[in-house]
Structures are given as structure tokens and as C-alpha cells.
Structure 1
Amino acid sequence: MTNAKILVVEDEAIVSKDLQYRLQKFGYTVSAIASSGEEAINKAIETSPDLVLMDIRLKGAMDGIEAAQEIYKRLDIPVVYLTAYADEKTLERAKITEPFGYILKPFKERELQTNIEIALTKHGLERQLKANKKWLDALLKSIGDGVIASNLQELITFMNPVAENLTGWKQEEACGRNLSEIFNIANTETHNSIESPIIQVLQDGTIVGLPAETILIAKNGAKIPIDDSAAPIKDDKDNVTGTVLVFRDITERKRAIEARQKQIEQEQLVLQWEEINQLKNDFLNLVSHELRSPLNNLKMMIQMIQISPDTESSHRYLELMETECDRELELINDLLDLQQLEISSYPVIKPDMLFLQQWLPWVIQPFQIRIKEHQQTLQINLPSNLPPLFSDGTSLERIIVELLNNACKYTPAGGEIILSVRYDSSEVPAKTIITTNNSAEIPATELPRIFEKFYRFPNADIWNQGGSGLGLPIVQKLVEQLQGNIQVESANGLTTFTLTLTDLI
């Protein structure tokens, strides 16, 4: 270290001058020369040298060892002893002061320079190490997590204040004890002891975390919910030399999570009540309109039969009554079917091989008369090479019937209904895609609610069509049971339902 300032402490003037000459020759600066211990201390305070060359035997009440000890304690300046005395007693006294060198007279120039350079380098490293240690201590004391370090024998070597507060152990009483004694952890629910994570860290040399539900049992018996991780401490050769455990009190976090969970549950409960109330209102509206209307019609027709002597009129009223009864029965059956589909966790599915080229024309045959009555046309498109579909025929028939019913209801006179089937083998599993198109457009704002229970278009009466709002919810539930999906699009005066199915396994 060139340009280093060196304080020479030597009570022989000739020797001190010689040292000054040699040091300047090496490129050092001699900050001062002292001949006694007291003077050495004062000169050191005054000039702040980088190193002190100290003769052990000095004139006066204070010798070199005592002076060196005081200088190092006050100023943290390294001291190199330069003396002619090498007896055991002197060496033992000198070692206590932790000198940075001990050179016996007579010495060689190279030996003197080497010892000075080593002392200056060593002191610089020690000073940096102390600064790093202070920085690390300050960091570990200031962080909000508890930190405990241990050696290979699982004995504690360090605890920060947070760890002291959480465990109830002070660092001075915990150091040297086994970590499991201080860091006593257990399961939150059972209170059964949990193995210390550092055991696995020492075995595997990897970072290990605690189970989710863990409590720390403090010295006073307090139980604190924590989470943590343990990591290995390794040297520059990647050898594990100890472990560091970082943990934190999560009491407030758990309270916040529990409070949020309760809030979510309450919000869900409110939503459920709102949904129940909405369903109740929808059902009451249904009952008041769809159930009461046929009953009122029945009552009126009974009265007409009672006052009308005309046999032909009575017969006509009986036919109308039968129609209203069928309407009432259909509505009740839909309600029961939908209820059964919603509560059934294990639906009864009876898969069968369906040859759609023959099966679909059979399903739509009953609609031909109705189509003609409504002055509509029904077109079916079936490819000739369509493979059989392994699915439940009863459920699929109900789906097709409901979709065609809706198409017939809302397609105006002169409109066209198209039923198409195609087979897509490019995906795994292969898909059978059934689409229905009809010449009626559903407003875009209504599409998201089209499969809701009891939902009817606000302007459904424009088409002079009633309906319970149960057909499409039943379709959706049946499609789910068949492990398929259904989508609806509506634009440019055309509504398309697309049903995608795969073979049931």
C-alpha cells in the first residue's frame, strides 16, 4: 500500500531515524516519531496513521504493548511489533493485543516491507469485514422477519430481535442450544410436533418450507401461527456449513384472510338470496300467467258449456279444454323434468348407436304438419358418409324437439328452418355438430340470458307466443349430461343454435 502513513514508536534515536529512512525508501510517509507510550498514543490521535511500528520496550511507565493495546482500542489502527525481545512471556503479552506482525531485530528490509504490506492488507480486509458485519447486523435487526442461524450440529449461532420476541428466547441464552428446543413448532389443528425443516436442509442442501398450518410454541407457551423457509449456508466450495431459518408471524394475515372469507361468504349468501328471490318471482310470474291463464280458460269454457245447449259448441269447448289441460300438463312436466336434471348428480344415461341419417328424419316427422300449418319450410341436410353417434337417444331427441319447437314458434310465416349435421374428424375426440337455423333474430342484449330458467323475451308477445322459459334450460342441462356444449348466435335476421357432441365413453 504505497503512500501509507506510518507512526514509528522507538526510544532509540538512531534506530528511529534508520526506520524513517527505510520507510521513505519504500514509498511510505512517516507521519510522526514517538519515543514513549504516552507520546505514541497522542501522536496516533493527532496524525491518524495507517499503521504503527511499535518497539515493545519503551522508556516511561507505559511499554509498547500497553500503548499498542490502547491505540488499537481507541483508533482501530494496526500495530506491528519491531523488537529485539522474543522471550515467551513477552510473546504471550504481545499476542493478547492481537498484533498484525512481530518482527525481531535485526531485520532485513524485505522482511520489514513484506510485514507492513501484509498488515495493511489484513487490516483493510478486517475493516471491510467489520463494516459488512455491522451492515448485516443492522439489516437483520431491522427486517420484520425472525432470523435464526445454526451450525452443522443444529446449534444456534445467531438470533435477531424479531426471533427473540417470537420465540421468547434471548440470543445470549439461546446460542449453543439445539434449534429444535428454541424453534418448537407444531400442527395448528392437532398440535402434534413437526420436524424441524433444518434437518432436511442439512440432508439435501436445498431450501425447505414449512407446512401451511404451522404454529410456533413460544417459551411462555404462546401459540403463534407462522410460515417460514430454511436455507443452507454454504462456503465458497459449495459445502454446507450451517442453516438460516427465516419465519414470520402470520396472525394478522390469517385474520385478514378469515375476515375476507367471511365477507365473501356473506356476499355469496346475499347473492344466493337474491337469486332465490328472483327465481321465486319468476316462478310466481309463471304461475300467475302460464298456469292461471289455462285455468281461467277452462273455467270460462265450463261456464259456456253449462249455459249453452248446443251440442256442437259443447264439443268444441271440450276440445279447447283438452288443449288447455295438455298445455298445463306440459308446463308441469317441464318443471319436474328441469328440477330432476338440476338435482341429479348421477343422471341415467343409456348410450346407444344412433344412425343419424335414419334417426333424425324420424324425429322431425311430427313437425311436418305443424310446419305446413305455419306456412314454414323445414330443410334437413345430412351428409351421406355420416358415421354413427354413440349417445343417449332419449336425451338427444328431447334436445332436437325443444330446438325445433322454438324455431317453429318464432319463425314467421314463409320463413325457413334448417337442420344440418356435419362430422369433424380433425379433432380428438371427433365431433358431431348439429345446427338449427331459423328466420328470426334474437336481440343481442337478450342472448346472454337465453338459457336462464323462466326467462322469456320482453317482446315475446310480438310473435304471439307464450312459453314457460323452461325449454332452453332443459336443453342446456341435457347437453351437459351428454358431455357436449351448445352455443347460440343471432344476426341478420337469422338465429343459429350449434350443438357439439362426442361419443359417450
Structure 2
Amino acid sequence: MPSTSVLLVEDETIIAMELEQTLQDLGHLVVARVTTGEAAIEAAARHNPELVLMDIRLAGRLSGVEAAAVILSRRRLPLIFLTAYSDDLSLQSAKNLDACGFLLKPVNHSELHVSIEIALHKFAAEKALLDQQEWLTETLRSLTEGVICTDRKGATTLINARAEALTGRRASEATGRDAAELFPIVRFLPSANSGHPVLQALETGKPVFDNPLSLVPTGPKPLPLKSTAAPVLSAGGDLLGAVWTLEDLSAEYAADRRLQLNRSNDLCQRSTQLLRNLEVLQSELLGPLNEDQVMVLDMLRDDTGTLHLDADRLRLCLQLEEEGELLALPQDVPRVLSGVAASLRPLLGHKQLVPRLALPTGPGPFIEVNEDLLFHLLTSLTEGLIEQATPGTTFDLACTADLEKVTISLEVTTANDTRKLHDQFNSSATLPLPNLQEHELPSGDHFALARHFGTYLDLLPRLETTGPNTLAAIVELPRLSASR
């Protein structure tokens, strides 16, 4: 057996001398022999022994158990307790320190030899296990993907640092809780997967792939995520749990939008140049066009205008990306509408309007839309409506949903002719929007601005008369479903 450096702590001189001699006979090196707990702590720090033999009862201020606790708190190493009484009152306290062995004095040669062998082997095995656990922990921490592990019932057992950042949940609050309830998801696109990825993996015993999806946000903004959930099986095929990985796709989405913008700009330039060439050809060579030629030229102008609008949408999308936003992500409608109502409260108070909210409770319904654009759309609609509102009446902000769509309604009572408001709304122009910064937004007609944001969101708000002198602005969006 290789030589082991030993710190011997025994306050009975004769027993200490016998133990030291036995240790030397076994081929070990006694680096220090001390009689008190205080001296043991100092010797352990000075000599860095590979093993400690510690008497439980020591003379002095510190007992052997107390000295061992200090030594082990500073450095992990194998420790064997010595005691003269099998029913020593301090024995239970010593067990709590997870010592590698206990010897009853007097100690014979063979007992000491076996105890040291077992203690060193046990410590080496525990150290190897701890080193492996530390390696796994550090590996998980260094991964760029979020990793969430569960047991066979779906309870969270591990969540790495990246998953904490993606989910907004700390490991301390996630451990032991049901992963499907703690991390509900919203799928971007129709999918054959209907349930929560973790539950599906546990139930089917097969990997579940989703790309893309989003977690129902616990923070201010959701993210597009690549999701893979897989069952964890033992060597015998028994289900042990599941591992769920999440990868942020924001950078890929931004790169895709930049590519789309480059292509869109190229189409715009080609279409614009073609239109100019035709106009020059018409004015300088062909003279007046017939009816069919005029129609073709008008169609080309319309197509060119559409191409420019698509390019503007993509350009706005990239601007939002640089500001940390994404154009189309799952949003919790009640959360968005509550923010709209809070921002409008001072203006409603100034107009002496009483705000009333009728919103669903709990998370959802969910829509796929840029939150900032929807916010500007709804606030612009509201400002256009309350300019005509009668002081002292109510302002209702409501949300309803069916299986396919979410309907947002903004309703006020007005003293003015509702037909004029309809005409004003329907005749509102939409102009290019250069920037989302508040001070750079177009001013003037709120309805024009609302229709403008609707154009960028690819939806058109409408006005309805819901009662005598009562107008409602209606916005409808496709609904997403959340999986738990």
C-alpha cells in the first residue's frame, strides 16, 4: 500500500505513541501528532495531510468533533474517529460529519490497517463522483443552449444558467416543480405536437422536436426558441426522466430578415427602374397610351408600391431587432392591454372618461405580433376616439377570444355624428413610417396613424357603431394556443 501522510490527534500519550508506531509499521508517515483540537486545526493547515485520525474526546476548548468540523470545512479529506466508548455521547455528532470510519480504542494492528484502506478507498470513490458531478455541472453551465432536466413524473431536477436566462426562472425556484406548469409554451406555427414537449417525451418515450416555439414570458419579452425534449432511459430501458434543451433563434431570425431586406431592396430598385423606363418610353416615344396600356402601367405602379411597403416592413423589423425586439412573437394579450390602459389613464382622466377593463384572467389568449406596434396601434385608435368622446362617459377596453381569433375592442360614447367619424377613419391616409421613436412619429390624424400601424402589422382596424352615439374600434388577430 502506498505511504499516506497522517495527522494523529490523541490526547492520551501512551495510546498516541502506540498508534504512531503502528502507522509507521504499516508504511505511513505521521506528519504531526497533537493533543488538542486547536493544534489539530493548525497542523492540518500547515501539513496538508492525506488522512486524519481524530479522537472524539480531547482535552482543551474544542472536542474532536468540533475540530474535525473546522478541518473538513476548509478541505475535503478522509477522517477516522477514535473513541474509547461505543456509546460515546458525541458519536452521533461525529456521524453527521460523514467521517470515513470509526475505531474503538484500544486499536489493534489489523483493525487500523483495514480502516485506513476502507477510508482511503471510500474517499477516492466519493471524490471521483464529486469531480464527475462538478464536471457535468460546469459543462451544463458552459453550454450555449438552455438545459432543463426532469424526473419521470416531469418535476424539474436541474436547470442550467442559460436556461435560467431564457426562462426567467432561477434554479432555486424551479427545482422540484412541474416543468410543464412552470414553463408553458406557445408554438409559432401549426404543429403535429399538441402537448408540452416534456410531457410528450415522457409519455411517448421518443424525442420531440419543435422549431420554433416560445415560452410564455415571465419577463417583458418572449424569444423564438428551438426546442428538443428527449426521454432519459436506463441501460435496461427504464424511464428515468427527460432532458429539454432550448436554443435562442433570435440571431438566425435577424440574419434571415437582413437577407430578405436585401432581396426586397433589389426588387424595389429593379421595379422602380422599370417603371421609370416605361414612363420615359411613354412620354418621349409612344405618346398617349390607350386604355389597356394605362391599366398595365397602373398595375405596375401598384406592384411597385407594394414592393416598397414590403421593404419598409422589413426595414422596420431590423430596426426593432437592433432595439432588442422581434417583429412577430407570441404575446399575452391581457398583459399587453393592461399596459395600454395604464399608459392611457392620464389622458382618459383629462377627458373625464371612466376606464373599464374586461380582460381574460390568467395567461393568454396569445397572439403573434410585435408588442410595440400593437401598442402604438391601440393607443392611436384610442386617442382618435376620445377626441370625440363625451366627458363623463365610459371608455371600455375589452378582449374576447374564440378558437381561431382574438378580438380587441375600444369603445367610447361621442356627442358627434358617428358617420363623420366613420368617414374620417375610412379616408385616413397611410404614409411611410421612418422610425418608431416617439418623437419621430407622424403627428396629426390619430386614425391615419392607427391605420398606418395596422398596415405594418398586416391587419386593418375597423369602426363599428355599437349603440346610440357609441363607437367601437375593433382589431382582430389570429389566436395562438399555449401548451402546458
- The two structures have a TM-score, normalised by structure 2, of 0.52
Distance 2:222 2:263 in 1: 28
Alignment of 1:5-44 (within 5 A): 5-44=5-44
| Equivalent position amino acid for 1:225 in 2 | P
Change in 2 beyond 3 A, CA 1:122/1:231: farther
Equivalent in the alignment of 1:148: 148
SS of 2:90 mapped into structure 1: helix
Q: For CA contacts below 8 A with separation 6 or more, give which structure has more relative contact order.
A: 2
Q: Given residue 255 of structure 1, which amino acid in structure 2 is its aligned partner?
A: A
Give the aligned partner of residue 248 of structure 1. Answer: 247
What residue identity is the alignment partner of 1:78?
P
Instruction: For residues 220-268 of structure 1, give each alpha carbon's deviation from its aligned partner in whole angstroms, at most 9, with x where no partner exists.
Output: 4633210021233445555432222111221221122133134335546
Deviation at 1:64, TM superposition (A): 0.8
1:195: which partner in 2? 195
Q: Distance in 2 between matches of 1:237 and 1:42?
A: 50
Q: Which SS does the other structure have where 2:158 is aligned?
A: strand
The offset of 1:194, in angstroms, is: 4.9
Instruction: Give the AA of the match of 1:38.
Output: E
Task: Look up the match of 1:345.
Answer: none
Equivalent position amino acid for 1:223 in 2: P
1: CA distance, partners of 2:181 / 2:198: 13
What is the alpha-carbon distance in structure 1 between the residues aligned to residue 238 and residue 48 of structure 2? 41
Change (3 A) 1:97 1:225: same
Partners of 1:185 and 1:193 within 8 A in 2: no
- What is aligned with 2:263? 264
**For residue 228 of structure 1, what is the amino acid of its counterpart?**
S
Partner secondary structure for residue 177 of structure 2: coil
How far apart, CA to CA, are the structure 2 residues paired with 1:33 and 1:240? 52
Q: Percent identity?
A: 33
Change (3 A) 1:64 1:139: same
1:142 Cα offset (Å): 2.9
Matches within 5 A, 1:296-445: none
Give CA-to-partner distance per residue, 1:356-394, whole Å, 9 cap, x none.
xxxxxxxxxxxxxxxxxxxxxxxxxxxxxxxxxxxxxxx
Map of 1:285-296 to 2, 5 A cutoff? none
- Pair 1:273–1:159, CA change in 2 (3 A): same
Q: What do the CA deviations read for 1:340-367 (whole angstroms, capped 9, x no partner)?
A: xxxxxxxxxxxxxxxxxxxxxxxxxxxx
Q: Which amino acid aligns with 1:79?
A: L
Instruction: Determine the structure 1 residue equivalent to 2:308.
Output: none
Match runs of 1:454-493 below 5 Å: none
Deviation (angstroms), 1:204: 4.6
Q: Distance in 2 between matches of 1:22 and 1:127?
A: 27
2:31 touches 2:49 (CA, 8 Å); kept in 1?
yes
The equivalent of 1:207 in structure 2 is 207
User: What amino acid maps onto 1:229 in structure 2?
Assistant: T
Structure 1 103/270 Cα, relative in aligned 2: closer, same or farther at 3 Å? Answer: same
Query: For each residue in 1:315-342, what CA deviation from the matched residue of structure 2 results, as whole angstroms up to 9, or x when unmatched?
Result: xxxxxxxxxxxxxxxxxxxxxxxxxxxx
In 1, Cα distance between the equivalents of 2:242 and 2:194? 18
The residue that corresponds to 2:231 in the other structure is 232
**Secondary structure at 1:213 match in 2:** strand
Change (3 A) 1:172 1:86: same
Q: What is the Cα-based RMSD across aligned positions, in Å?
A: 3.3
Q: Quick check: 1:186–1:194 contact (8 Å CA) kept in 2?
A: no
Give, in angstroms, the shift of residue 88 of structure 1: 6.8
Partner of 2:290: none
Query: Aligned partners of 1:239, 1:275: CA distance in 2, in Å?
Result: 67
Q: What aligned pairs does 1:486-505 form with structure 2 within 5 A after superposition?
A: none
Partner SS, residue 242 of structure 2:
strand
Amino acid of the structure 2 residue aligned with 1:219: T
Mapped contact 1:185–1:194 kept (Cα < 8 A): no
Counterpart CA distance in 1 for 2:75 and 2:127 is 12
Q: Please tell me whether the aligned partners of residues 201 and 208 of structure 1 are also in contact (alpha carbons under 8 angstroms).
A: yes
Aligned twin of 2:128: 128
Partner secondary structure for residue 223 of structure 2: strand
Which residue matches 1:169?
Answer: 169
**Cα deviation, residue 35, structure 1:** 1.1
**In the alignment, residue 33 of structure 2 is paired with which amino acid?**
I
For residue 277 of structure 1, report the CA deviation from its aligned partner: 11
Q: Check the 8 A contact 2:232/2:241 in 1, yes or no.
A: yes
Cα 1:275–1:28 shift into 2, 3 Å: farther
Alpha-carbon shift at residue 172 of structure 1 (Å): 0.9
CA deviation string 1:129-181 (max 9, x = no partner) = 33333333333223322121211221112222221222111111111110012
User: Are the aligned partners of 1:187 and 1:194 in contact in 2 as well (CA < 8 Å)?
Assistant: no
Deviation of residue 274 (structure 1)? 8.6
Deviation at 1:192, TM superposition (A): 12
Give the Cα separation in 1 of the matches to 2:176 and 2:78: 32
The 1:121–1:238 alpha-carbon spacing in structure 2 relative to 1, beyond 3 Å, is farther
Mapped partners of 1:208, 1:119: distance in 2: 46
> What's the counterpart of residue 137 of structure 1?
137
Equivalent position of 1:90 in the other structure = 90
Q: Hey, what's the Cα distance between the residues in 1 that align with 2:206 and 2:19? A: 56
Aligned to 1:61: 61
- Please state how far the C-alpha of 1:73 moved relative to its aligned partner: 0.7
Secondary structure of 1:223's aligned partner: coil
**Alpha-carbon shift at residue 187 of structure 1 (Å):** 1.6
Deviates more, 1:40-49 or 1:83-92: 83-92
Structure 2: how far apart are the matches of 1:131 and 1:33? 31
- For the residue of structure 2 that corresponds to 1:119, the secondary structure is helix
CA contact (8 A) 1:186 1:216 kept: yes
Change (3 A) 1:12 1:88: closer
- Residue type of the partner of 2:161? P
Q: Which amino acid aligns with 2:133?
A: K
The 1:183/1:130 distance shift into structure 2, 3 A limit, reads same
Structure 2 residues not aligned, in runs of 5+: 287-484
Q: Which residue number corresponds to residue 160 of structure 2?
A: 160
Tell me if 1:3 matches 2:23: no
Alpha-carbon distance in structure 2 between the residues aligned to 1:99 and 1:15: 21
Summarize the Cα distance change of 1:162–1:59 in structure 2 as closer, same or farther, 3 Å threshold. Answer: same
- Cα distance, 1:55 vs structure 2: 1.0
